[in-house]
Amino acid sequence: MSWKLFELLVQASLYTVLISFASITIGLAIGTAVSGAMLSPSRLLSIPGRAFVSFFRGAPLLVQLLLIYNLLPALGLNVPSIVAAITGLSLCTAAYQAENLRGGFQSVPRGLLEAADMAGLSALQQFRRIRAPIAFRLAFPSLVNEAIMILKASSLVSVVGIVELTRMAQDLAASTYRPIELFAAAGFLYLMINWLIALGGSLFERSFRAGRP
């Protein structure tokens, strides 16, 4: 495979990383809010929260992407395709991240909160200083996993016209008649990026384990 082709793939993979990163970040923000809603004692918040998670984990991502891509213009929002794509990915990952965070929050050992109570911390202080940090640490591995999932899922935005890594490989394969090389190279790039994400995740995890025995 010529360097030129590979270079094009690498450029496209940077675009993939950009899209994935944007979606993960926005998804984390939405997901945090949704998990808060799910854990809320108020049914007004918890029921829509659970419904959101259920729907966006229940329908296939491809269908969600097609839906949003066509829904936004129908609602009068003529946004560029990339915005529609990121919106679709973000909503999907938000649902999974909400579920991971919810699990993290509910796994915080009760005893730790009771100790905080006895030490006189207010509810807000308990949340900020004990519950949230621990929940985040517990949920972190699944969040890293989710990042890897989004990276792979981003290949689907190729069907709504975004030229990321998969689409680039497709186009090049069609014009050079070398699908095996190109898709294998694309696969290799995905593997590399995933490996980097996993590495980054475990380094980051180690940093906040630093103080532990």
Partner 1 sequence: MNFDTGLILASLPEIMHAFSVTMLMWVAGVIGATVLGFLVAVARRYGPRLPRHLLRVFVEVIRGTPFLIQLFLLYYGGPFIGLSLDPVPAGLLGLTIYGAAYFSEIFRGGFEAVPPGHVEAAECLGLNRQQTIRRILIPEMTMLVLPASVNMAIILLKETAVLSIITVPELTLVISAIGSQQYAFVESLFLLALFYWGLVEISGKLGRAAEARLSRFRLALA
Binding-residue pattern over the window 12 to 51 for partner 1, x denoting contact by CB under 8 A? ----------------------------------------
Q: Does 118 bind partner 1 (CB under 8 A)?
A: no
Residue closer to partner 1, measured from CB, 138 or 197: 197
x/- mask, partner 1, residues 163-192, rule CB under 8 A, reads: ---x--xx--x-----xx--xx-xx--xx-
**Exposed e or buried b per residue across 78-93, where buried means at least 16 C-beta atoms within 10 angstroms of its C-beta:** eeeebebbbbbbbbbb
Tell me if residue 155 falls in helix, strand or coil: helix
Residue 126, helix vs strand vs coil: helix
Residue number, 105 or 190, with CB nearest to partner 1? 190
Distance CA 127, CA 136 (A): 12
Q: What is the smallest separation between the CB atom of 203 and partner 1, expressed in angstroms?
A: 19
Under a CB-based contact definition with an 8 Å cutoff, are residues 92 and 99 in contact? no
Binding-site member from 121, 152, 171, 201 for partner 1 (CB under 8 A): 152
Q: Which residues, in sequence order, are CB contacts of 187 under 8 Å at separation 6+? A: none
170 CB burial (10 A radius; 0-12, 13-18, 19+): middle
Q: Which range in 35-43, 95-103, 108-116, 162-170 contacts partner 1 by CB under 8 A? A: 162-170
The packing angle between helices 165-176 and 3-39, to 10°, is: 150
* Residue nearer to partner 1 on the CB measure, 69 or 131: 69
Q: Give the binding-site size for partner 1 (rule: CB under 8 A).
A: 37
Give the contact letters, 55-94, x = binds to partner 1 (CB under 8 A), - = no.
x-xxxxxxxx-xx--xx--x--------------------
The whole-angstrom separation of Cα 190 and Cα 184 is 10
Structure tokens at 23: 């979606």
Q: Which is nearer to partner 1, 101 or 149 (CB)?
A: 149
* Other CB atoms within 10 A of residue 13 CB: 23
Residues interacting with partner 1, by CB under 8 A?
54-55, 57-64, 66-67, 70-71, 74, 148, 152-156, 158-159, 166, 169-170, 173, 179-180, 183-184, 186-187, 190-191, 194-195
